[in-house]
Amino acid sequence: MIRGTILVTGASGFIAAHVVRELLERGYRVRGSVRGNLSEGRFDMLRELPGAQERLTLHNAELSEEGPWRRLVEGCDAVVHAASPYRLEARDPKRELIDPAVAGTRHVIGAALRAGVPRIVFTSSLAAVTDEPVTGKVFTEADWNELSSVSRNPYYASKTAAERAAWALAQESGAEARVVSLNPGVVMGPSLTPGLNTSNSFLRGALNGTYHAIVSLDWPLVDVRDVALAHVAALEFDAGRGRYICVAETLSIAEVVRFLRSSGVAEGYQLPRLRLKGRLGALLARAYARTRPPGERSYLLTHIGKEFRVDGSRVTRELGVGYRDVRETLRDTVADLERWGHLRRDG
């Protein structure tokens, strides 16, 4: 049974590809927007998904252009807007990150609202909730990132500005009940496409010797497969409202490294052994952070030495999506990095 037509923007992206797979498995027709030549091999994995031949169409569309979105949202039962620039480093953060994220949101969400699309699911980020952990505080959907800017965590600023733009459009249209945002933390897990996403690349760096020390840093982790399930649940659950943080569990980098080593997952790799902890460790870590590129430097300086606690339970309570154990996620991510050739064991 065909259940309806869903537009998924940025369909070849890490999260969006899993959303596309889940929708196809449930019998939906999917329109996927992508960037680049549609004949490129990097889109083959989408076309090979079960049900894709019959119910998936791919369309070239740029976030910066308003025109294509009016056509793509027409006749859709829901829109999942997952496309957004994602990188820590940018020469011109406003032009490369913030402006396209906001413009894309206005073009896609605006077109969907004007077309009367009944349900709009917006892929935001924990970055729009906060850009700095506060020891002793548990962050919830009520919190908003008020600190990021072009010079401080500009990627976080782009996600915050984009989500605020989405809610402003919904409010102006009197359609807040039709919009839901998902705010995932550090998303890891197997990739459906060969590209290396930013979060998985952090884990690769921990295994291939890129990072020489274990800094005092917390990761609010969630599996990409659970994030995809949350997206689909949000578009199917009519009573869903507002924001939903997607975080299964927070692990420190030390805990991640300890698991990788003790489980045998990291055998043949170069995990860091030097642990920078305590006041001296924090000073050394901050000194190191100041030698890094601007985006990474800003992230490290606002996160090192601070406990990061997040409440991601609303997804389970209201949308019925349970979380995988993030240790399973870490194990699966390593195996997937090997499968795509992003990691190779010594010997």
The kind and range of the H/E element at 328 are helix 326-339
Among the listed residues 94, 159, 277, 306, the single catalytic one is: 159
Distance CA 128, CA 141 (A): 10
What is the total residue count of the chain? 347
- Cα-based distances in Å from 302 to 96, 134, 152, 243: 22, 10, 9, 24
Q: Token digits for 333?
A: 């991510």
For 212, counting Cβ atoms within 10 Å of its Cβ (0-12 exposed, 13-18 middle, 19+ buried), the class is: exposed
Q: What is the torsion angle, in degrees rounded to the nearest 10, for the CA atoms of residue 110, residue 111, residue 112 and residue 117? A: 130
Q: Is 94 a catalytic residue?
A: no
**How buried is 81 (Cβ within 10 angstroms: 0-12 exposed, 13-18 middle, 19+ buried)?**
buried
Active site residues: 159
